[in-house]
Structure 1
Amino acid sequence: MVTIPYALFLIIALFIFFVIYPSIQYFRDPKGLRKFPNMSWFSGVSHIPFIVLAHGGFRSKYLEELHKRYAVIRTGPNSLSYSDPRAIKDIYGHNTKCTKDGAYTATMGSHFHLADVVDKKDHARKRKVLSSAYALKNLESWEHKVADKTERLIAHLDKMCTAPLPKSQVIPDSKDLNVDYRAWTNFFTIDAIADIGLSERLGFLDSGNDICTAQRMDGSIYEIGFRDALYQNARKQSLLLWDYDWYPLLNKIADIIPFYRRMSEHSQNWDAVYLARAAKRLKRYQEGEKLDDFFQALMEDKNGSPNNLEWGEIVAEVSIMMNAGSVTTAIAMANVLYQLLKNPSVMNKLRKEIDSVLDKYEVVAPYDKVKHLPYLRACLDESLRLFPPTSHGLTRLVPQEGMAILDGYVSGGTSVSVSAYVAHRNENIFPQADKFIPERWLGEEGKALQPYFLAFSAGARGCIGRNISYLEQTVLLASVLHRYNFALPKPDWEMQRLETMNLILGEMPVKVWKRDVGGDDVWMDK
């Protein structure tokens, strides 16, 4: 009797499992998904095409091009991408029946945090605990922390100022491009969220780097770069996540390759970074310190009664706060200055609005003076529209009974999403969608666009830190535009972008010099 070698049997079994069976399922089409156009010819059978696309570095941009032809695209055997912003209400709205899908359980730690918890009741419980910390009224008590970080960034920019760029010159000397605005806005947001959330002064704006302490599970302490630990962890997930069932195994197998193994090491470092932050703050709490921060709201309700959360849940909430609270706002801060430098007429109009409410010698813009400036908010929102920091489609699971999305029925158990990058470039909602036009957000026309604005997601699962982000963006942008002029390396210089779980930016070198506000160089004597 002829026996088949074990290796050959394994190959045949894998071929049947990963190719033959999925192909049969594709043609059986039990969920009726074959009516939707495929992202690629193999997308209806396997997640591999989307994993390959993720390695290309900007999957949402690729989808946006495809969506110019198709309103709905099948991106995997069980996943659909929508381009029509009207689908936002169906998928993410307050009354949606959709829940977060397997992407969130595949990447969770020992405990869910607010951003990845799937169960709606558990999410409501968490949000109730945290809502007091993120409430709009708390912005008043936290503004001084944002002002402090603004002062520290300005202190650095003052040191880096060079001579004004001659009006006839558009390309600055390379030696004057001495500030990476992208890095420094990230130092700003990390320092800010550490202070707002944990009353900890990391001091990145003082040191000019992001080296911080980290704590291993055994309690030992070491030093690590905050941004490398965080960003590489997210990058690996963004490359391999898309087949949720196989992600845990694929994640481990990938570590055979040094490229992925280095990312895994950074992932462990990120765990150690936020564990150190949480442990340090817990010690202060146990010693009796009553501090006005996010951690205090985790430990006690507004009446001082203990919330009795498990330590794992507290650590998980600290991790997402340090992650989401620093990354997306920093991206937004760099993006808006970049867009303003690319559009000088918009910059001039915004500067006039800011200068009209700030005194000549005012260094840090008081939030009360600038929070209601309509053109300033319009510039922020237009930048968030054009390049949303979280650009990809946040996946949701259709309930088992199925539901209508737009005017079409989608079977239960299907993953659906709307990419913010794609939705924000829909010409029917946003004419001249590729252009930076803040005026579109003004007046009644601007209000009518808000339901299609996905930069902070939408509905009950929308970003709870939205108000803090706007506070930081508004104060910093008004302050630096009032005090400085900036120049990019050259007029046609382009920002480099890498889509991981967020739309991460490359370096942004700028020349900085002080403004001659009101015709007098008021800053020379300061």
Structure 2
Amino acid sequence: MLSIGILLALAALFAVGIPIARYLVDAKGLRKYPSAGISAFTSLWSMWHNRRMKRFMAIHKAHERLGPIVRVEPNHLSFNTPEAFYDIYSHAATNILKDVYYDAIAGPFRSSGNTRSREEHTRKRRTIANSFSPKGVAEYEASVTKTVHILLDRFDELHAQHGESGFNATPWIHMFTWDAIGDVVFGESFNFLENGNDTCVAETPEGQQHEVQAIASFLGGVQYANNIGYLGTDLAKWLKKNVLYCSYGAKMGANFSNISIHKIRRRQEIPEEAAPQDVWSRMIAANKKPGAHVMPFGELVAESNSLLNAGNDTIGSSLTSLLYHLARNQEAQKKLQSEVDPVFLPGVRVCPYNDVKDIQYLRNCIDESLRERPPVGIGLPRITPPEGSVIAGQRIPGNTSVSVPTWSIHHNPALFPDPYAFKPERWTDEKQIPALRKFCLPFSTGGRACVGRNLAYLELEVAVASIFHRFHVELVYPDDELDTLEWFNSSPGDLFVKITPRVTA
């Protein structure tokens, strides 16, 4: 009978030996590409940097050190080349699908954001795309306007409480975006801004209600799913079912889904004739069309999770980053204020979208912030078809994971001179505009591009114009860089600001 020591030694040999053997055999010919540390042998390199919430930066530095193509996992190549973005993500890349990573992070039901099936994605996107068309988004403006009013009230109160000492704006901005997306999707705000915290009701599938902290639930669940995704589909599913089901990350992920369940059930109680013009109404209408696929409850929860995810985190991260850039660049802030002030009539605190959407410098500031601090910094993983693909001039074998890190493309000095500087003026520089239009892609590109782009711009333009018309914003610590933390999206860290009212409320 084998001793425990021998068994442990065999297990260690198995764990170490197989990756080394695979590396030496090199069945796909990937060994010719430089690797970041031990990334050619194991996904532990990605998991380690993801756990530190800096994987996007580790990959960026690896590209700076090793060149345009880096092996960041045993079966994953990262491309820091502009042409690769279109080879992998564009409408023309019809045979390159979402990576098996999404199988590892997904639950029993898929959303339009994590399904790998092109057919299923087309069906789901058709159901929700009308909700985020320009016409559909226009119907949500009242929800956004109402929430911006409450944010301005809260900022007035925070100024009165803290004065010159300032306050941390990050949690308040995320409470704002949670409130707005709750109203847009379900016709009901979370009321976090009014309550002064992010406590809300969640509900289990069995109907048991409990209170949770929404932001911690979301971020904890996303980080857990993101980290486990690097383990591979079969191992990830086994661990989730048998080992990690009681972990902090699993509990936070369940809490986040339970928030959606509670909102859905409350929304279902509203009679159709009394229903608000929200995303939910449009989804139900699409489900009722002749021949339409009727989403089961689990699919509705998955889709709601996806909408809450993008609607709170992407917009919240973008607004926080923009607040930071304009507080740090006082000349840009003054120029923006000189552009937005004339469109505000006396007594108007929140300007209609139609009055601000054509202010070029406002849009320049938003676009430049999205370039310099993209809400998704990682390379979204895709997989080549069995026959392989040509990417950036390289013949890549079939069933190989590939990606282009958005952060690295957005900070490529060959595309964007002085890439780490916040320069709204670059968006009117005729020499830079072609690269900006083609390679500044914060919402990705192709068939998998973010469906909520129109809502994001409406919310950002209305909120930014109103905030900077009402307040002068400064950094409490002018020399500090705003930290960037990678959960899945790249979320800003704490942002301490002091605000001074410019106009009477």
Map of 1:57 onto structure 2? 53
Matched, 1:292 2:290: no
How many angstroms apart in 1 are the aligned matches of 2:247 and 2:436?
A: 43
Map of 1:118 onto structure 2? 116
SS across alignment from 1:284? coil
> How far does residue 262 in structure 1 lie from its aligned partner after superposition?
2.4
How many angstroms apart in 2 are the aligned matches of 1:361 and 1:288?
A: 35
Map of 1:248 onto structure 2? 237
Using the size of structure 1 for normalisation, the TM-score is 0.90
Amino acid paired to 1:117: T
Aligned with 1:456 (options 427, 435, 443): 443
How many angstroms apart in 2 are the aligned matches of 1:178 and 1:422?
A: 33
Matched, 1:147 2:145: yes
Map of 1:392 onto structure 2? 378
> How far does residue 78 in structure 1 lie from its aligned partner after superposition?
0.2
Quick check: 1:298–1:314 contact (8 Å CA) kept in 2?
no
Quick check: 1:374–1:442 contact (8 Å CA) kept in 2?
no
> How far does residue 158 in structure 1 lie from its aligned partner after superposition?
2.2
Amino acid paired to 2:360: P
Amino acid paired to 2:464: L
Structure 2 spans left out of the alignment, 5+ residues: none
* Shift in CA distance, 308/241, structure 1 to aligned 2, threshold 3 Å: closer
Map of 1:274 onto structure 2? 260
Matched, 1:159 2:147: no
Question: Comparing 359-368 with 184-193, which one deviates more in the overlay?
Answer: 359-368
Map of 1:469 onto structure 2? 456
> How far does residue 410 in structure 1 lie from its aligned partner after superposition?
0.5
Cα deviation 1:42-87 (Å, max 9, x = unaligned): 2211111221222232111122122123101001110011111221
Question: Comparing 47-56 with 317-326, which one deviates more in the overlay?
Answer: 47-56
Matched, 1:195 2:183: yes
Map of 1:77 onto structure 2? 74
> How far does residue 267 in structure 1 lie from its aligned partner after superposition?
1.9
SS across alignment from 1:157? helix
> How far does residue 443 in structure 1 lie from its aligned partner after superposition?
5.8
How many angstroms apart in 2 are the aligned matches of 1:140 and 1:295?
A: 15
How many angstroms apart in 1 are the aligned matches of 2:396 and 2:232?
A: 20
Cα deviation 1:389-419 (Å, max 9, x = unaligned): 1111110011111000011010010111111
Cα deviation 1:483-518 (Å, max 9, x = unaligned): 111221122133233211112222222222111xxx
SS across alignment from 2:211? strand
Quick check: 2:104–2:228 contact (8 Å CA) kept in 1?
no
Aligned residues: 500
How many angstroms apart in 2 are the aligned matches of 1:491 and 1:411?
A: 49
> How far does residue 250 in structure 1 lie from its aligned partner after superposition?
4.5
SS across alignment from 2:270? helix
Aligned with 1:353 (options 333, 339, 346): 339
Quick check: 1:162–1:513 contact (8 Å CA) kept in 2?
no
Matched, 1:405 2:401: no
> How far does residue 8 in structure 1 lie from its aligned partner after superposition?
3.9
Question: Comparing 336-345 with 61-70, which one deviates more in the overlay?
Answer: 61-70
Using the size of structure 2 for normalisation, the TM-score is 0.94
How many angstroms apart in 1 are the aligned matches of 2:226 and 2:131?
A: 30
Structure 1 spans left out of the alignment, 5+ residues: 164-173, 516-521
Amino acid paired to 2:21: I
SS across alignment from 2:441? coil
Map of 1:22 onto structure 2? 19
SS across alignment from 2:82? coil
Map of 2:428 onto structure 1? 442
Map of 2:88 onto structure 1? 91
Quick check: 2:477–2:496 contact (8 Å CA) kept in 1?
no
Question: Comparing 342-351 with 305-314, which one deviates more in the overlay?
Answer: 305-314
How many angstroms apart in 2 are the aligned matches of 1:266 and 1:179?
A: 27
Aligned with 2:133 (options 132, 135, 147): 135
Cα deviation 1:351-403 (Å, max 9, x = unaligned): 11112333353210211011121111111111111111111111001111100
How many angstroms apart in 2 are the aligned matches of 1:14 and 1:288?
A: 63
> How far does residue 446 in structure 1 lie from its aligned partner after superposition?
2.4
How many angstroms apart in 2 are the aligned matches of 1:10 and 1:297?
A: 58
CA RMSD of aligned residues (A): 2.1
Matched, 1:212 2:231: no
* Shift in CA distance, 107/276, structure 1 to aligned 2, threshold 3 Å: same
Quick check: 2:221–2:253 contact (8 Å CA) kept in 1?
yes
Amino acid paired to 1:262: Y
* Shift in CA distance, 147/454, structure 1 to aligned 2, threshold 3 Å: same
Question: Comparing 31-40 with 289-298, which one deviates more in the overlay?
Answer: 289-298
Amino acid paired to 2:181: I
How many angstroms apart in 2 are the aligned matches of 1:464 and 1:13?
A: 50
SS across alignment from 1:510? strand
Amino acid paired to 1:294: V
Quick check: 1:354–1:370 contact (8 Å CA) kept in 2?
yes
> How far does residue 275 in structure 1 lie from its aligned partner after superposition?
1.1
Cα deviation 1:153-173 (Å, max 9, x = unaligned): 11122223359xxxxxxxxxx
SS across alignment from 1:300? helix
SS across alignment from 1:214? strand
Map of 2:356 onto structure 1? 370
Quick check: 1:71–1:82 contact (8 Å CA) kept in 2?
yes
How many angstroms apart in 2 are the aligned matches of 1:466 and 1:183?
A: 23
> How far does residue 243 in structure 1 lie from its aligned partner after superposition?
2.1
Question: Comparing 453-462 with 486-495, which one deviates more in the overlay?
Answer: 486-495
How many angstroms apart in 1 are the aligned matches of 2:48 and 2:198?
A: 32
Quick check: 1:441–1:447 contact (8 Å CA) kept in 2?
no
Quick check: 1:26–1:44 contact (8 Å CA) kept in 2?
yes
